[in-house]
Structure 1
Amino acid sequence: MLDSLLTNLQRLISAQFVVSIFFPMLAFWASNGLMCFLLNRVFAEYVTSLLENPKLASSLFVIGCALGLVAIAAYMFSALIPALQSILEGRWPQWLAGFYTPTQARKYESLRDRITEVDRLRAWFETRLSTNRPRWKEWQHALRDFRTVGMRHNTNAFSANSEGFLAVTKLEKAWRKNAWVSKNLLEECFNKMIDDLRFNNADLPNNDGLFLLDSKYNSLWSIIEDTVQFTHLESIRITNQMQFCFGERTFAPTAMGNIANTISAYANQKYNINMETFWPKMQRALQKDVNFGPVLTGSKMQLDFLIACSVLTGIWGMIWVIILIWIATNPIAFCITTITAALMSYGWYRVAVSHYRSFAAIMRTSIDLFRFDLLDDLHFDLPSDTDSERELWNTLHRISVLGESINVPLKHK
């Protein structure tokens, strides 16, 4: 019977509303009911009597009223979602935002310092020496040449106490932990290994019957190649993180706000598009695409769901913290409720921030794909090159936002 009621309710309201707002609100009131059942004897006796003596008519009436009230509360709450999202994005008064923006600025500066360090190591590795080979290639050739020199000997005294063994082992430990490998450590390993390779035959076992020198030779050879590849990939990864987590150099006080700023920054920097003005107008083109439109809608639905869960969990926690203080309940119950609510609310927020990155990526993609459809809907000729496109969007901005009177040719289908 409850499934039937939910089905009828879904027919009256959109699936996006049911998933993103109604279900979190239903969970919110269910958790409040559970707390009342645990802490209020009268309410617990009433619920117990309903369960022990179920009557179809009264049960349907209670369930119907409860779902109706939840739906009303959900509709009211849905109107607050844009404002709540704005708060989570850090659109606060300047005096309040000033307390939190330094933290976000330090995160950006940390990424900037990291990519500088990575690029320096990469440039150092790629520096061409007198042989016109990059340093890392020259090192590999030197290792191979000194191994050939060492093959003239008929002994191998390389052991676990050798300087080359200890240096490469230290390098291997740092590499396995994904720790930063400095050029000083790499140079130390290279210099000590060529000394050991020069006076020992790596093709022979050492005094303990182990091929330690051959093993460390191969390990250092691989790490040199892997470090070159790592610096390249790490540079790309950090660049992407800086671009897609901090779109502007004016920082928002929250991580979600900085990710949100990447959307407008991307549109402005790449195409000179004012997102605040032209994004609503782009909805028509998006809705006409039966493949991409649902993707964007589904992503926004998930984001609204996570925001609703985070906010409602925080509200639930504040309500019951106040109630538990007022009724002077067990301190253990108070601590458990407070900590659980805080952790769950923040956890939902962190998940929402993670999903916001995906949502922002879809938004940026929609700009790439549908900006010409918008121009077509507005009856403007499509630009012939990138400079013409940027100039056209700037002209439309001046007409739409600044109210300037500019004559632009129109086309009609």
Structure 2
Amino acid sequence: MREDALRRLAARPPGDLLLPTALGNALRAGELTAGERYGLTTLPSWPRIYLQVSDRMAEVLSSARDALDTAVNLCWSLLTLTVISAAALYDEPTRWWLCGTGLLLAAVAYKGAVTTAQGYSGLMHVAYDLHRFDLLEALHLPLPTDGESEEEIFSEVSDLFAGVRREGRAYEHPDARRGGGSQPTQR
């Protein structure tokens, strides 16, 4: 029970960044921690790293996102149906159980959406774990040699995505004339 409580707390964003809904918090937790563990700001880097993921990973991410969208749409549909049913059955007290059932089903769909969002956030973490260096290669930047240089280069990449350019970073472009070796150039 204690491990479950710790897992749930770890899946929440910090207190000053909490959102009013569990679904928002589940998505925010992934947005704030997936890339930040490596020095990348997740929101600006996510569209770029998503294009670097393998076909299999893209399929899994797409499937998880479709499941999330479906669960959220089902929740809203059930809530809308409940409101319409309540309006239509306001003078039929023997049928109010239908509204209660609709509300219960909407709550179950919402819980499913939160669980699916937590899974999607976990997949975002996996995408950064497996493909962050592919992003550097696509940007023609050298790979880091250790954890400290990794955080430094990803911090610079995050600044680049935010429109802040730092001088002195060497690009590595394959030299086609010499059989694919790399040749550093300054920016």
Q: TM-score, normalised by structure 1?
A: 0.39
Residue 361 of structure 1: CA displacement?
1.2
The superposition leaves residues 102-159 of structure 1 with CA deviations (integer Å, 9 ceiling, x where unpaired) of xxxxxxxxxxxxxxxxxxxxxxxxxxxxxxxxxxxxxxxxxxxxxxxxxxxxxxxxxx
Are positions 1:331 and 2:97 aligned together? no
Alignment partners' CA distance in 2, 1:272 and 1:390: 5
Cα distance in 1 for partners of 2:81, 2:67 equals: 21
Match of 1:405 in 2: 165
- In structure 2, how many angstroms separate the alpha carbons of the residues matched to 1:239 and 1:314? 32
Q: How does 1:341-352 map to 2 (within 5 A)?
A: 341-352=102-113
Asked if 1:395 is matched to 2:142, the reply is no
Specify the alignment match of 1:369 in structure 2: 130
Could you tell me which residue of structure 1 aligns to residue 183 of structure 2? none
- Taking the aligned partners of 2:127 and 2:165, their CA distance within structure 1 comes to 29
In the alignment, which of 270, 281, 286 is matched to residue 48 of structure 2?
Answer: 281
Does 1:249 pair with 2:6? no
Q: Taking structure 1 as reference, are residues 257 and 406 closer, same or farther at Cα in structure 2, changes over 3 Å only?
A: same
- SS of residue paired to 1:273: coil
Report deviation, 1:264. 2.6
The runs of at least 4 aligned residues of structure 1 exceeding 4 Å deviation read none
Instruction: Check the 8 A contact 2:34/2:124 in 1, yes or no.
Output: no
Aligned to 1:340: 101
Opposite residue 375 of structure 1, the aligned amino acid is L
How many Å separate the matches in 1 of 2:12 and 2:150? Answer: 25
Q: CA RMSD in A?
A: 1.9
The whole-number CA distance in structure 1 between the counterparts of 2:106 and 2:4 is 29
Could you say what secondary structure the match of 2:68 adopts? helix
The code of the aligned residue for 1:292 comes to M
**What's the CA shift for 1:312?**
0.8
Structure 1 or 2: more strand by fraction: 2
Pairs within 5 Å for 1:262-341: 262-286=29-53, 289-325=54-90, 328=91, 330-333=92-95, 335-341=96-102
Equivalent pairs, count:
172
SS of corresponding position for 1:412: strand
What residue identity is the alignment partner of 1:256? L
- SS of residue matched to 1:382: coil
Unaligned runs of 5+ in 2: 175-187
Task: Tell me which of the two structures has the higher relative contact order, counting C-alpha pairs closer than 8 angstroms and 6 or more residues apart.
Answer: 2
Q: Which amino acid is the alignment partner of residue 282 of structure 1?
A: I
The Cα of 1:345 is off from its aligned counterpart by 0.8
Report the alpha carbon displacement of residue 307 of structure 1 after superposing the two structures with TM: 0.9
Using the alignment, how far apart are the partners of 1:384 and 1:346 within structure 2? 48
**Could you tell me which of 386, 391, 397 is aligned with 2:147?**
386
Aligned-pair identity in percent equals: 23
Pick from 337, 353, 359 the counterpart of residue 120 of structure 2: 359
1:332 & 1:381 partners in 2: Cα distance?
A: 70
Output the CA distance in 2 between the equivalents of 1:241 and 1:338. Answer: 31
Task: From the superposition, tell whether residues 247 and 268 of structure 1 become closer, same or farther in structure 2 (CA, over 3 Å).
Answer: farther
Q: Distance in 1 between matches of 2:117 and 2:43?
A: 18
* Distance change in 2, residues 1:362/1:267 (3 Å): closer
**Structure 1 residue 283: Cα displacement:** 2.0
> In structure 2, the residue corresponding to 1:410 is in which secondary structure?
strand
> Aligned-pair distance for 1:238?
3.9
| Partner amino acid, structure 1, of 2:99 | T
3-state DSSP of counterpart to 2:89: helix
Q: Distance in 1 between matches of 2:121 and 2:87?
A: 37
The 3 A distance-change label for structure 1 pair 258 and 321 is: same
Aligned to 1:280, the other structure's residue is in SS state helix
Larger Rg computed on CA atoms = 1
Q: Post-superposition shift, 1:388?
A: 0.9
Aligned-pair distance for 1:349? 0.3
Report if aligned partners of 1:271, 1:389 keep a CA contact under 8 Å in 2: yes
Deviation of the 1:253 alpha carbon: 1.6
Distance 1:293 1:404 in 2: 29
Secondary structure of residue in 2 paired with 1:406 = coil
Query: Does structure 1 conserve the Cα–Cα contact (< 8 Å) formed by 2:45 and 2:161?
Result: no
Whether the 8 Å contact between 1:317 and 1:342 is mirrored in structure 2 is: yes
Residues of 1 paired with 2:102 and 2:4: CA distance? Answer: 34
Instruction: Kindly indicate whether the alpha-carbon contact (under 8 Å) linking 2:31 and 2:121 is maintained by their aligned counterparts in 1.
Output: no
- Give runs of aligned pairs for residues 8-23 of structure 1, distance below 5 A: none
